[in-house]
Amino acid sequence: MPTIRSELCPLFVDGEWGPSSASTSEPVYNPSDGTVIARTPLCGADDIERAVKAAEAAFPGWAETPPVDRARVMFRYVHLLETHFDDLARLVTREHGKTLAEAKGSVRRGIEVVEFACGIPSLLMGESLEQIAPGIDCDAIRQPLGVCAGITPFNFPAMVPMWMFPLAIACGNTFVLKPSEKVPLTAIRLVELLHEARLPPGVMNLVHGGREAVDALLTHPSVKAVSFVGSTPVARHVYQTATTHGKRVQAAGGAKNYMIIMSDANPAATVDALIGSAFGCAGERCMAGSVAVAVQDAGDRVLPLLRDTVAQLRVGPTDRDPAAQMGPLVTQQHLERVKGYIDAGLSEGAELFLDGRDVRVPAAPNGFYLGPTILDRASTQMTIIRDEIFGPVLSVIRTDDLDAAIEACNGSGYGNAAVLFTTSGRAAREFRHRVSAGMVGINVGVPAPMAFFPFSGWNGSFFGDLHIQGREGVWFYTRQKVTMSRWG
Ligand code: NAD
């Protein structure tokens, strides 16, 4: 059973669950019905100090643990995650609101990172070259960094934390996780299961809170590396503050992902992909396609079918209605913010093609619901195109050719995903070559890389050098030592 022993979420420090010394807390909601299901303590510097000290003390022993034994913890963890897979997904749905199918998909993606971490002995292998000069050999090995910190957003309560700590720990580091204050419950369960996998005390620690907790981690002299995922302004702040304090940083930010539709695209397949990308997880996804650029007559070929299909989506309480196809937004405040963007789009001249604001969910009238919304004939100067909305709102721009579409996309300032729908190989090649984004989809609506590839945002979507996941993830959590040997 999950460790929710009181309403206030516990911390996990040095292998023990216990209370925070914070005097303030924030509510955690079940967004499906608006009820408060827990409270997140807003940890201050003293809680962070305890967690970092525990991680620091555990580091030498864990770093000396053979990689194969560290891998065995990960194998046991995979087994426990599989055993509790459905419960974890239900917890994600309960505190975030995405559908159970979406929650399961995200937990699966997280488990894949743990599976990747099971291969750590091979992933950590170095390089060597004999006889670089007469009688001299050279080799490069990888060693862990020390205490690493992870700071995560609300939209993937299981997957994003799992992008970080399994690989960091498998590499021989110790870890302090600070999940989003909006969704702390899944993180508690993930840490509990990791402990059950017989990870030594102090290797994994969990704290809670917001800015104060984050800033204490970013400036703590014993924290060697920071992994961050969240919005662009906070990612920039994290990168600047932590690098100023001498830390290695990977900070993934927000996004504005363009989906360009050529007039030769297959309409039915394109509509399918657009729905998943723009409205999946109620648009609360850093890979969500939030701008569709319709080239020539593509808009008229695709948009009516898109609207007719999307209008049928069942919006409802994902925690109790298995037929719900789209869930609520995470909080009332976020719902109001997204509605504010729809108002801004209309006042700046976009056309309302599908209005989700009047959605009614009689089974859960206090949930934070917004139906799928489409704003047509937007332009690149509008707020709805410049800002990340992070809700089920698709804005449509119309252009005459692929050049203009790529130019609009590259002007966004972000660079997470960019997608092209076409049956032309020439257009696909042109797009991949010229588009300024790190994750490209060709007839794929959500080109999210799997665990063995880097999650490869560019521009304002990423600050740092080494991305999360894949070999870059291993490189991020280790440093190289090069040795030259002469034995006479
Ligand atoms: P957020 O930036 O508000 O919060 C992220 C984390 O930073 C949380 O743990 C929060 O407590 C902390 N935080 C918030 N404000 C802070 C501040 N002023 N100083 C220090 N720490 C602060 O993001 P969110 O609303 O939780 O998540 C949504 C955002 O995350 C979206 O912008 C989305 O695109 C982005 N995201 C990006 C990726 C990616 O891979 N690029 C993946 C998932 C989500």
- Position 6 scores a pLDDT of 53
Reported as a single tens digit per residue, the pLDDT across 243-300 is 999 999 999 999 999 999 999 999 999 999 999 999 999 999 999 999 999 999 999 9
Residues classed as catalytic: 286
Question: 395 CB contacts (<8 Å, ≥6 apart)?
Answer: 290, 291, 292, 345, 350, 374, 375, 378, 382, 384, 385
Tell me yes or no: is domain 257-413+417-442 CATH 3.40.309.10. Answer: yes
Segment 456-468 shows an average pLDDT of: 98
Ligand 1 in reach of 239 Cβ (< 6 A): no
Helix (H, G, I), strand (E, B) or coil at 402: helix
Question: 4 CB contacts (<8 Å, ≥6 apart)?
Answer: 38, 185, 188
- Position 488 scores a pLDDT of 83
Distance 153 CA to ligand 1 centre (A): 4
Ligand 1 in reach of 214 Cβ (< 6 A): yes
Q: Domain map of the chain by residue range?
A: 11-254+457-486, 257-413+417-442
Distance 398 CA to ligand 1 centre (A): 31
Segment 198-226 shows an average pLDDT of: 98
Distance 213 CA to ligand 1 centre (A): 14
- Position 1 scores a pLDDT of 37
**Residue 177 backbone dihedrals phi, psi, to 5 degrees:** -100, 135
Reported as a single tens digit per residue, the pLDDT across 136-190 is 999 999 999 999 999 999 999 999 999 999 999 999 999 999 999 999 999 999 9
Residue 73 or 488, more confident: 73
Ligand 1 in reach of 44 Cβ (< 6 A): no
- Judged against a pLDDT cut of 90, whether residue 4 lies above it is answered with no
Nearest one of 154, 129, 127, 126 to 142, comparing CA atoms: 126
- Per the CB < 8 A criterion, the answer to whether 202 and 16 are in contact is no
Q: What is the pTM of this model?
A: 0.97
Probe ligand 1: pick from 286, 333, 341, 468, max atoms within 8 Å of CB? 286
Fold of 11-254+457-486: Aldehyde Dehydrogenase; Chain A, domain 1 (3.40.605)
Reported as a single tens digit per residue, the pLDDT across 443-454 is 999 999 999 999
Segment 376-397 shows an average pLDDT of: 98
- Judged against a pLDDT cut of 50, whether residue 432 lies above it is answered with yes
Helix (H, G, I), strand (E, B) or coil at 307: helix
pLDDT band at 340 (very low <50, low <70, confident <90, very high): very high
Reported as a single tens digit per residue, the pLDDT across 41-90 is 999 999 999 999 999 999 999 999 999 999 999 999 999 999 999 999 99
Residue nearest to atom 16 of ligand 1 (CA): 211
- Judged against a pLDDT cut of 60, whether residue 487 lies above it is answered with yes
pLDDT band at 350 (very low <50, low <70, confident <90, very high): very high
Ligand 1 in reach of 211 Cβ (< 6 A): yes
Ligand 1 in reach of 415 Cβ (< 6 A): no
> How deeply is 26 buried, as exposed, middle or buried, from its count of CB atoms within 10 A (0-12, 13-18, 19+)?
middle
